[in-house]
Amino acid sequence: MIFGGDGSRTAVVGKYDRQMVVDTGAYDRVLDYVEGMRAPLLAELARLAPRRIALNYSMDSEICDGITHGMYLTMMGYLSEAGLADRVVSAEGLLSALRQRKTPAELERLREAIRHTEEIYDAAEQCIRPGMSEADVAAFMRTEVERRHLGFAWDPHTCPSVFSGPDTAGAHYGPTGRTIAHGHVLNMDFGVRVEGYVSDIQRTYYILRPGETRAPVEVEQGFATIRDAIESARAAIRPGVEGIGVDSAARTAITSRGYEEFPHAVGHQVGRFAHDGTALLAPAWEKYGRKPFVPLEEGMVFTIEPRLTVESYGIVTVEEMIVVTHDGAEYLSRPQTALRLIRA
């Protein structure tokens, strides 16, 4: 698929795929081949005479790294033959812009996914009881997803993730047979897919002990710290700022109250996948490459998800979804501003 600087859209495909591609209406020209794509491809490049050729590879952004290594070598062989190899650049900038800036229609689909997610969380809260297992809660939520004829935001093995009490496996692990008990902090990570777009939201609960009417002070303090860190991050967001500054605002809100810093980025983009886009709300760590330094733009959708450990109780973490606006950021999800209490 070749998108020219002159606005032209050309597809070079095998002979028997031609009509299917023509029928999409997406291309001005559909060139087919029998023996190989070299001749029609090089002819089209000669017609375009490009100064730069952007291939969909990237070292920093997985959503822009679409070409396989073998196809990259094949393409570079063709371009070397045509004397064009020195004009190759990464298409990361173009592809990132396309994926990151959400249109009103895309935002509407994201809002619908969020609505379903929050309703399923509300339903799950009414059924959670001490003695249930993490897997029991996950099964209830999966049944709700299926009843609503929705998709899962990521692999159903870990969607939802359910973690109860101290010493759990941590993020990105499937629900287990661990029993939900009085005095546990319970957190869940969950999202659904609606018309190709997904949500990604986390909620935290406390399982009241007999006689308790509120969570222990240290649990309440931990939750308040997370809530404030999320708002600090949201308040730091506006077009033009870099994600590293947003991450720093949340990270400082955590460490300034004596907690250890969380071992991950404070937020990632959401769109067609739960982890989408290139720009990241993250520290300048090796694994994040250039992502923390990409300026934020209006229309980007992010999560904000700091976490901390409350010893002997569990992990306190909340994940909200926001959209970058022309002068700041607004919540797409309904913020969890109070610890959710589960009574026996």
- The reported pLDDT for the residue numbered 319 is 98
Cβ neighbors of 293 (< 8 A, separation 6 or more) are 242, 243, 244, 284
Rounded Cα distance, 224 and 217, in Å? 10
Amino acid at 330: E
- The reported pLDDT for the residue numbered 60 is 87
> How does pLDDT run across 295-338, given as a tens digit for each residue?
999 999 999 999 999 999 999 999 999 999 999 999 999 999 99
> How does pLDDT run across 153-202, given as a tens digit for each residue?
999 999 999 999 998 877 889 999 999 999 999 999 999 999 999 999 99
Q: Where are the alpha helices (DSSP H) in the chain?
A: 18-24, 38-48, 69-81, 92-100, 104-127, 134-147, 217-236, 243-255
Q: What region does 201 belong to: left with phi over 0, alpha with psi -120 to 50, or beta?
A: beta
What pTM was computed for the model?
A: 0.92
- The reported pLDDT for the residue numbered 170 is 77
Sheet of 301-304, strands arranged across: 276-281, 267-269, 301-304, 320-324, 329-331
Q: Where are the alpha helices (DSSP H) in 239-282?
A: 243-255
Cβ neighbors of 227 (< 8 A, separation 6 or more) are 318, 335, 336, 337
Report, as an integer, the average pLDDT of 66-74. 96
Instruction: Indicate whether 65 pLDDT > 80.
Output: yes
Rounded Cα distance, 227 and 339, in Å? 10
What residue ranges do the domains of the chain occupy? 2-98, 101-342
Q: Which residues of 286-305 are buried (b: 16+ CB within 10 A; e: fewer)?
A: eebbebbbbebebbbbbbbb
> How does pLDDT run across 239-278, given as a tens digit for each residue?
999 999 999 999 999 999 999 999 999 999 999 999 999 9
Sheet of 197-198, strands arranged across: 151-152, 192-194, 197-198
CB 315 within 8 A of CB 304: no
Tokens of 80: 């070397």
Cα–Cα nearest to 291, from 249, 242, 334: 242
Q: What CATH homologous superfamily does 101-342 map to? A: Creatinase/methionine aminopeptidase superfamily (3.90.230.10)
- The reported pLDDT for the residue numbered 206 is 98
Q: Helix axis angle, 104-127 relative to 134-147, nearest 10°?
A: 130
Per-residue confidence band for 22, with pLDDT thresholds at 50, 70 and 90: very high
- The reported pLDDT for the residue numbered 169 is 79
Rounded Cα distance, 179 and 130, in Å? 7
160 upstream amide cis, omega within 30 of 0: yes
The distance between the two most distant Cα atoms of the chain, rounded to a whole number of Å, is 79
Rounded Cα distance, 35 and 22, in Å? 20
Report, as an integer, the average pLDDT of 8-23. 97
Report, as an integer, the average pLDDT of 212-232. 98
Tokens of 329: 């950021």
- The reported pLDDT for the residue numbered 344 is 77
The average confidence (pLDDT) of the chain is 96
Beta bridge partners of 204: 187
- The reported pLDDT for the residue numbered 103 is 97
